[in-house]
């Protein structure tokens, strides 16, 4: 997959998370992102809310997912999943509409 289409790398670039690189496996990237988000949950909740807003994940959706996953995985893992899902949606949306505009 082209690096610009890897959602975790796009998120890491937007958030300036230096611990995530293209040299890591997808799982390693995911774990670093989750760890970073866990840190924000514990230490900088305002920044976390800002990130959710910037990536376009609603606070209500995040709260619901966190409540559902509360006993199974860390908040960082839940939030990482939501951010990745949203980034994938944006990638698909851009591909869909960029291919339509190039057909004209």
Q: What is the pTM of this model?
A: 0.86
Per-residue pLDDT, 75: 96
Domain ranges of the chain: 3-103
Long-range contacts at 5-13 (CB < 8 A, ≥ 24 apart)? 5/91, 7/83, 7/84, 7/87, 7/88, 7/91, 8/33, 8/84, 8/87, 10/87, 10/91, 11/55, 11/83, 11/84, 11/87
pLDDT tens sequence across 43-57: 999 999 999 999 999
């Amino acid at each position: 997959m082209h690096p610009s289409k890897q959602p975790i790398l796009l998120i890491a670039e937007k958030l300036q998370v230096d611990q995530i690189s293209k040299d890591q496996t997808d799982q390693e990237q995911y774990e670093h992102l989750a760890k970073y988000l866990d840190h924000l949950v514990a230490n900088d909740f305002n920044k976390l809310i800002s990130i959710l807003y910037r990536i376009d994940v609603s606070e209500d959706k995040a709260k619901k997912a966190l409540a559902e996953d509360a006993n199974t995985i860390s908040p960082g893992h839940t939030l990482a999943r939501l951010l990745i899902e949203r980034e994938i949606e944006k990638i698909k949306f851009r591909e869909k509409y960029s291919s339509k505009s190039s057909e004209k």
